[in-house]
Amino acid sequence: MLLLLFTIAACSPQEMDDYALDGMTRLTDDQVSFTQTASTASDNVLTFTNTTPVSGVHTLVWSLGDGSTGKSESVTATYPFAGEYTVSLTIHTPDGGKATKSVVVVIADDDYSLVDTPVYRNLTGGPEDADGKTWVFDQYNNFTSEVADALGKDIRGHLGLSPLGSYSQEWWGAGPNEKSAWTMYDMTFTFIQNGVQFRMVTLGEGYGRKASSESVGGFSVTNVDGDDATFPFDGGNFNFSISEGGTYPSLTLSGNAFMGYYCGNQTYEIIYQTEEVMALRVENTVESQDWVFIYCLEELNVEPPAVVKVPKAIPLAEDFEGETFLNFVQEDMGSVSGVFDNPLPLPINTSDKVYRYWKSGGFYSNLAFTAAEYKFDLTTQNKVRVKVFIPSFNDYATEHAVAGDWIANKKLLPQLAVKLQDSDMGGNAWQTQTEIVKANLEMNKWVELEFDFSGVAERIDYDRIVIQFGAEGHAGPGFFYFDDFTFAE
C-alpha cells in the first residue's frame, strides 16, 4: 500500500489525466462520431456504432429519436413509420465532461411488418386486414369475469374506478347496460394497422370526468351530472401508437381522441388482451384515480338471454368448521381476512374456527353472498342470525379520511350492518337496498345478533346479503370476528 501511494504521488497531474482518458484529456462535440448501417431485411432497421477515438474510461448514452435509449458501443433501432428521427450519442468522461453528436435520420417509407406483433394483431387484425377491427364497450359485462380472473383484480364492470395504481375497480364498476341513458354504447373504436389509423365514431356526444374534460382535454362541456361531464364530440380519424417496453403495452391516441370516457389522459395500458376482448387502464392524475375499461369486438356485444330468478326459500348456514364454505366474496377487504382460530373459545361460542374480518383502509369493506340462480323468498325466510366478537383493541377514537362530504362519521365503530341487495343492479345495488345496523355492540365477548327483514317480506328482487363491520365510508381499519351465520325463518 505504501508503494502504491508513493507511485501515485510521483505521477504528475498530466500523467494521471493521460492514464484516465488514454491520452485524451478533453472530448469535444466535433470529435464524436458514429456510423449507421441499414439491415438487409429492412431499410427501417438501423444499427448505430460508435467510432469516436476514445478508448479509456467513458460512458456512452444513445437517444434514438423514438423514445428508446442505449448504452453499448452499438445499438439497433427499429423505425416502422416514415418520418424524421434525431439520433444522438453523448459520451461522458471521468473529468465530468461530455460531448454530443446528433444526426437527423430520415425514414422514407412505412414498414408495417415491423409492428406485426401479437399486440398489434389482436388490436387491428394485422396488416392484411384493410378494414381493421372494431371495438365497443362490453356493455352487458359479458367478459367482466374473464378479465377479473385473468388479472386477479377486483373488476366489476365495463368501466369503473379505483385508487391510483391499483389496476382495479374496487370503488365502483358499471353494471350491465348501466349507462344506457348515454350514447356511449353507440361509440365504435376501429384500429387499422396499415397507417396505424384509429377511427372513432360517435353520435355527436362525448363523456368524461368533470374535473379534466374542459381543463385538460379542452372540450366544451355542456352538461355536468355529479362527476360526469358531457360535451359535443363527433369522433373522427386519428392515429395511434403502441409501446411494448413496460410491464404492459401502452396505447397512445393522437389528437383529442379517447376511448369513450375521457379521464385526462390519452395513453392507456393494455392490461388484458385477446383477439376478442381488451381491458385498458388509464391514470386520472387530476383526481388520483385508476380507470379500467373493458371492450369487446362489436359483433360480440350481445345482450345475454335474461336469467329468470324466481323467489325461493333456501336456508343458508355457515360455521366455518368444514372444508367448503358459503361463497362469501370479499370487497375492498384486507388480505388477512379469512378463517382463523377462535380468539376466545368461551360461551356462547366455543367452536374452533371463526371468520376473521379485516376492515381495510378502503371506504367500503364488506363480505357479500349472492344467490346465483334464485331470489330470496322473504315471506318465510327473513332472519339473518350471526355471532360476533368485537375486540376492544381496535382504534375507535381516531378520525379518518372519508369517501366524501356525505359521510358524517369518520371513526371506526363497534357495529355490524347487514344489507339485502339486488345484484342485477350491479354497482348501483345500494340504491334500493334494505339495511339493518346493530350499533354500540359489547366488546371482548361473543354476542348473538338477529337481523329481522320481515318488514320487507314483499320484496322479490333481493338476492345478495352484505355483511359490513365498522361502518362504511371512512378509511379506519380494524379486526372483527363472526361465526355461526344463518339465513332462515
> Residue 121: is its pLDDT beyond 50?
yes
pLDDT higher than 60, residue 7: no
**pLDDT surpassing 80 at residue 385:** yes
Residue with cell 439491415: 39
DSSP of 142-202: TTHHHHHHHHTS---SSEEEEETT--S-SSEEPPTTTTTTSSGGG-EEEEETTTTEEEEEE
Q: Give the tens place of pLDDT for each residue, 217-261.
A: 999 999 999 899 999 999 999 988 888 878 999 999 989 999 999
Q: What confidence score (pLDDT) does residue 149 get?
A: 95
SS (H, E, C) 359-416: ECCCCCCEEEEECCCCEECCCCCCEEEEEEECCCCCCCCCCCCECCCCCCCCCCCCCE
Q: Grade residue 342 by pLDDT with cuts at 50, 70 and 90.
A: very high
Q: In this predicted structure, what is the pLDDT of residue 25?
A: 54
Average pLDDT of the segment spanning 9-34: 59
Please identify which residue in the block is written with the cell numbers 386519428.
Answer: 238
* Residues 30-59, mean pLDDT to the nearest whole number: 90
Q: Among 1-10, 261-270, 437-446, 449-458, which stretch is predicted with the lowest mean pLDDT? A: 1-10
Which domains occur in the chain, in start order?
18-111 (2.60.40.10), 118-300 (2.40.128), 311-488 (2.60.120.260)
Which of these ranges, 63-67, 173-177, 206-210, 275-279, has the smallest mean pLDDT? 63-67
Summarize the confidence of residues 342-370 as an average pLDDT. Answer: 95
Q: What is the mean pLDDT of the chain?
A: 90
- My answer on whether omega of the bond before 271 falls inside 30° of 0, hence cis, is no
Mean pLDDT lowest among 68-82, 290-304, 329-343: 68-82
pLDDT of residue 131: 95
pLDDT at residue 88 greater than cutoff 60: yes
Report residue 4's pLDDT band, with 50, 70 and 90 as the boundaries: very low
Q: What is the pLDDT of residues 280-310, one digit of tens each?
A: 999 998 999 999 999 999 999 999 987 789 9
- Chain centroid offset of residue 264 CA: 15
Query: What tens digit of pLDDT does each residue of 160-215 get?
Result: 999 999 999 988 999 999 999 999 999 999 999 888 899 999 999 999 999 999 99
DSSP codes joined into one string, 252-279:
EE-TT--SSSB-S--EEEEEEE-SSEEE
Rounded mean pLDDT, 20-38 = 77
User: How many angstroms from the chain centroid is the CA of residue 112?
Assistant: 30
Distance CA 470, CA 324 (A): 27
- What per-residue string of b and e applies to 47-62 under the rule 16 or more CB within 10 Å gives b? ebebebebeeebebeb
Least confident of 75-79, 216-220, 269-273: 75-79
Q: Kindly tell me the burial class for residue 101, based on how many C-beta atoms sit within 10 Å of its own C-beta (0-12, 13-18, 19 or more).
A: middle
Query: Residue 8 pLDDT > 80, yes or no?
Result: no
Give the per-residue pLDDT at 15: 40
Distance of alpha carbon 401 from alpha carbon 163, whole angstroms: 14
Please write the tens of the pLDDT for every residue from 463-486.
999 999 999 999 999 999 999 999
pLDDT at 449 > cutoff 70 = yes
